Structure 1
Amino acid sequence: MTPLEDLLQQCTVKITVPGAWEKERGTGFFVAPGLILTCAHVVRKSADLQVTVSYLGCQQPLSAIVKAKADDGKTLDLALVKLSESPFDHPCVLLDEEPVAIGQTLYSYGYLESYTNATPVRPVNEGLTGDTPPLLKLQGAQIEKGISGAALLDLKTGKVCGMVKETRAAGFDLGGGAIPTRVILEQFPELRALQRKFHEGDRRWVNLTTTSMAGKPESATSLITIPQERAELYQFLLNLPGSQFDAVLFALNPPRGNIPPSTAPQGQRVPELLNWLESAIGPGLEALRLSLSKTLNPR
């Protein structure tokens, strides 16, 4: 276990719903002092928004209340849980909005139904789904009931890139889906200031991230050369795998309705993307080059 993986475990909690749903459990993680992020479906059946939080090192469960939700019953599945009191000093994860590289190994830690205690899983990112908002599609790990709400650590950046939401098939190593950090921060923008304030004062995570990245060679930009001219960019985008094209779109975040949906042929989506980029409201082709570089040549 790396120091960052250990620190992530220290940020992780088990969430249960008191009463008739006591056997139901999910996972959550600290994003600010006394403030926990989890999935809305984990706390959906709570009466009066009351839940119980169990934290490693605390002998007694802690009472908490659901403070906010962003829940469409589909891919938007977020909840913030606030401890009634926070009698201990705990770390908080470091959230990262940058796109996750295709094929990147990730680390998560939560309360899977098959295990008494929390356990790690190591899925691989396959790219973004075509949903609105999209999910990170995960493969190669046994993601099952109970780990919903667990933080997803990008082992390349050392930061949390999302939150586990669902399984593809419980009991099999078929992976699942996760909510990207960017979606989380779009729904709960107040977390940006809370994160900044916490990590300015508590350097545990930041220092480990700096240490883990020290000495690693920077990715050579020649691995994948990003074209400069519009015509070359057009052809380059046409030839991108669909999952990578969606990752680039996700990073650029064009207003809804400007780009055809993922069900449309890529030959229709590419020219509309370029038209939007070069329009009066678009960020320009340089933003596209930067997004391509970050997505295809992550450091």
Structure 2
Amino acid sequence: MSDPDSDSVIDALTRAATVHFSHRQDDSPMWGSGFFVAPGWVLTCAHVLAPHLKGDPAMTFRLCGSEVNDGEPLDARLASWLLDGEPRAEQRVPVEQDLALVRLVDEGVEHESVWLTDRTDYPGGRGIVQGYRPEDDPVRQVRRAVRWKAGARINGFDDDYGMRFRPEAEFPKGGSGSPVLDAHSGAVVGILKSRRSGRDGGMAIAATALRRFGPAYQTLMAAHDRWHGQSPKVTGHNWIERQHQLPGAGVHTSGDQWSPRDRREALALLSGVHPPAAIRPVVELAKKARGGVAAPPGQLLPRIWRDGHGLLYEAGQPVAAIAALHYLQLVVEYERSRGGDPVALADWVARRLQDVPRIVHTVVTQATLPPGLVHQRTADGQDRIVVRYPRPGDGSAVVIVELEPVCDARPARFYWRIRVDDGQDVNEPLHEEQTGDGVPPEQIVQRLRGPLEEVFASVDSPGAPAPLEVALPVDHFDTAVHRWQLTEMARLHHPAYVGVRRMVVLRDLARRGKPDAVWQRRWEGTLTAEVLTGARTPPQRQVPRPRHFEEMPASTVPVLCRPAGSGVGRRAIGMALQAGHGIALWHTDGHPDLSCTEFCEEMQQGAAQLLAQSAGAIELPDRLRRIRDDISGSRNSRHWAEGVAMLYDDPSRPLPADDSGPVDSP
């Protein structure tokens, strides 16, 4: 079914971004459709790819579009999908799992990309869907992919991510993965999932389901917004200029109104700001920008700054410029409070304020953070800026030490290697010792001093020492790494203990290689939790059981007042890891055999306070480092955190798989 009322230019731009997939062999039948959302990134349904990539998700396949690369096919690979576990034959994929991201092998290919909505609420009404379908070619006697287009009306919703079409819509076989365009706003709001068997109508996946990709969502949308921010602004042959002419753009005849051009500039600049540490800052800043009024109910929680801008709509129309500029200025203040300096965003807001009434100028320039987001100050009035832990793609480096026990060595001895995760990938070992008898535990620090000093000198930034991650087996989790003295004679202003100067966390060496779905799912929930809490592990007068850890909410962190390398603590931490926990706290210095002491209560209370004060998991390692700094200054050997270790195991930065197998002592 065609739609004569659709915008011809936006239709053409959508068509130019749409592709189909197939095996690399010539004349192989198409699998389904997809579309470009950012340079080199294609979005489709997971069920389009799953039957063909089953058993080999890394397989290279073919991607082709009539207006991409002059119609010539391109090689592509699966980057990520939301499927929970390995796909099964004839498996019906749930809506919330039916998305996949594909990457071009050749990243230098130029192509169109759709404009993805930033709105958090569901659109309704008229939509345009176009993609590819298979058709018999009688001349070549093969099935070829041909373009198709249909109008559809969104008239219902299923749970958080499903959008239903009215029955008169006709969708062909092969259309799954096609973009669903909202004709009202000129933005892609969904991905066609399925047609109804033997009948008209079907279902689409809301674009908001992209948020389930976790950190990859931030990376993808930043690339999307940067690309559109650099697109032509005068010719009219781009998404934003055409959106100006559609009803969803609102009225934008004066400077105190917010236009699609403003939105494009704002989102492109927000893509260059460090992502928020948690959901709460986005919610709170958007709420304050809306005059203290929360967004309408029923909307999904925002994950990134872009999503906060998407909360600034009323009945599908953009709010006035005062709310949007106020929100952007609050983001500037939030980033500055964390030691950042978003100059480009701040300068653009200042220039845009020249076009607004004085009352708007006053509200924006006097913007202050909500009380709950204001950083604490020390007794001397200095800001306590909490450094967020590095995340993939943010350009920050992490130094990783892997300690591998030599098989059957008694007493224990270790092989070791040092790597750097530069924010893009984990590099090959810079230093290692993988032969011979290994190193006894008491000599590890001495053996690592020289190599670590060299590596830290190459990656530390002024005033920002790189974090240290030590990956070792669970049986050795009581190694008090934070007490390592990497300098025999430290300068007075450089503490000798590594855990005082830089963030130090532990990782599970057994989690090398591809992360499992349980670990990834819990980590994503922990990372986005607004408030973190601690759970006494195991509960008092109980033995640890797997269900204790499986039933914990993602916002809950196991806290052990006993060692994790043996006995009850070893069983507890093992169950926590099996249940997917990526963060845990434990006391490395021993525990009475029979029952807890007053110190155990003090530790539980201290850990609870540490978790409650953190604006998300990403702040925890530096907040613990600051406590260690305080302990070092006060020389309080009885402090609850003096012997505390932290597991901080991020599945989005997995340790490289060990393909060498067990290492035997000669």
TM-score under structure 2 length normalisation:
0.32
Q: Does 1:169 align with 2:197?
A: yes
> Over alpha carbons, which structure has the higher Rg?
2
Change in 2 beyond 3 A, CA 1:176/1:113: farther
Q: Which residue identity lines up with residue 117 of structure 2 in the other structure?
A: D
1:234 is matched with: none
Correspondence list, 1:101-140, <5 A: 101-102=123-124, 104-113=125-134, 116-130=145-159, 133-139=160-166, 140=168
1:68 is matched with: 80
Deviation at 1:214, TM superposition (A): 9.1
1:93 is matched with: 114
Change in 2 beyond 3 A, CA 1:215/1:65: closer
1:178 is matched with: 204
SS at match of 1:93: coil
SS at match of 1:14: strand
Q: Which residue identity lines up with residue 103 of structure 2 in the other structure?
A: K
In 2, distance between residues paired with 1:214 and 1:108?
Answer: 18
Q: Which residue identity lines up with residue 146 of structure 1 in the other structure?
A: G
In 1, distance between residues paired with 2:30 and 2:209?
Answer: 26
Change in 2 beyond 3 A, CA 1:92/1:287: same
Q: Which residue identity lines up with residue 74 of structure 1 in the other structure?
A: P
Correspondence list, 1:1-299, <5 A: 2-18=8-24, 22-44=28-50, 45-46=52-53, 47=56, 48-57=58-67, 58-72=70-84, 73-75=93-95, 76-86=97-107, 88-98=109-119, 99-102=121-124, 104-113=125-134, 116-130=145-159, 133-139=160-166, 140-170=168-198, 172-173=199-200, 175-187=201-213, 188-189=216-217, 190-203=219-232, 204-213=238-247, 286-287=293-294, 289=296, 297-299=315-317
Alignment length, in residue pairs?
A: 232
Change in 2 beyond 3 A, CA 1:185/1:209: farther
In 1, distance between residues paired with 2:294 and 2:27?
Answer: 48
| 1:52–1:62 contact (8 Å) kept in structure 2 | yes
- Between 1 and 2, higher relative CO (CA 8 Å, sep ≥ 6) is seen in 1
In 2, distance between residues paired with 1:55 and 1:183?
Answer: 25
| 2:243–2:249 contact (8 Å) kept in structure 1 | no
Q: Which residue identity lines up with residue 64 of structure 2 in the other structure?
A: S
Change in 2 beyond 3 A, CA 1:128/1:296: farther
Change in 2 beyond 3 A, CA 1:183/1:289: closer
In 1, distance between residues paired with 2:248 and 2:170?
Answer: 32
RMSD: 3.4
SS at match of 2:82: strand
Deviation at 1:129, TM superposition (A): 0.7
Bigger proportion of residues as strand:
1
| 1:43–1:49 contact (8 Å) kept in structure 2 | no
Deviation at 1:127, TM superposition (A): 2.3
| 2:82–2:212 contact (8 Å) kept in structure 1 | no
Deviation beyond 6 Å, 4+ runs, structure 1:
214-218, 290-296
Deviation at 1:92, TM superposition (A): 0.7
In 1, distance between residues paired with 2:94 and 2:26?
Answer: 25
1:222 is matched with: none
Change in 2 beyond 3 A, CA 1:296/1:112: farther
Change in 2 beyond 3 A, CA 1:215/1:28: closer
| 1:101–1:296 contact (8 Å) kept in structure 2 | no
| 2:194–2:204 contact (8 Å) kept in structure 1 | yes
Q: Deviations over 1:175-197 (max 9, x none)?
A: 11111111113424122211111
Deviation at 1:144, TM superposition (A): 3.2
Change in 2 beyond 3 A, CA 1:107/1:214: closer
Q: Which residue identity lines up with residue 212 of structure 1 in the other structure?
A: L
| 2:162–2:206 contact (8 Å) kept in structure 1 | yes
Deviates more, 1:146-155 or 1:11-20: 11-20
In 2, distance between residues paired with 1:215 and 1:66?
Answer: 35
In 1, distance between residues paired with 2:158 and 2:146?
Answer: 31
In 2, distance between residues paired with 1:40 and 1:290?
Answer: 30
| 1:69–1:80 contact (8 Å) kept in structure 2 | yes
In 1, distance between residues paired with 2:293 and 2:240?
Answer: 29
| 1:17–1:43 contact (8 Å) kept in structure 2 | no
Deviation at 1:49, TM superposition (A): 2.8
Unaligned runs of 5+ in 1: 219-253, 255-282
Q: Deviations over 1:138-184 (max 9, x none)?
A: 122112321111111000011010111111125x32x1111111111
SS at match of 1:66: strand
Q: Identity over aligned residues, as a percent? A: 24
| 1:144–1:166 contact (8 Å) kept in structure 2 | no
| 2:134–2:173 contact (8 Å) kept in structure 1 | yes
Change in 2 beyond 3 A, CA 1:207/1:217: closer
SS at match of 1:107: strand
| 2:134–2:174 contact (8 Å) kept in structure 1 | yes
| 1:144–1:169 contact (8 Å) kept in structure 2 | no
Change in 2 beyond 3 A, CA 1:126/1:19: same
| 1:106–1:122 contact (8 Å) kept in structure 2 | yes
In 1, distance between residues paired with 2:163 and 2:171?
Answer: 13
Deviation at 1:212, TM superposition (A): 3.4
| 1:35–1:83 contact (8 Å) kept in structure 2 | yes
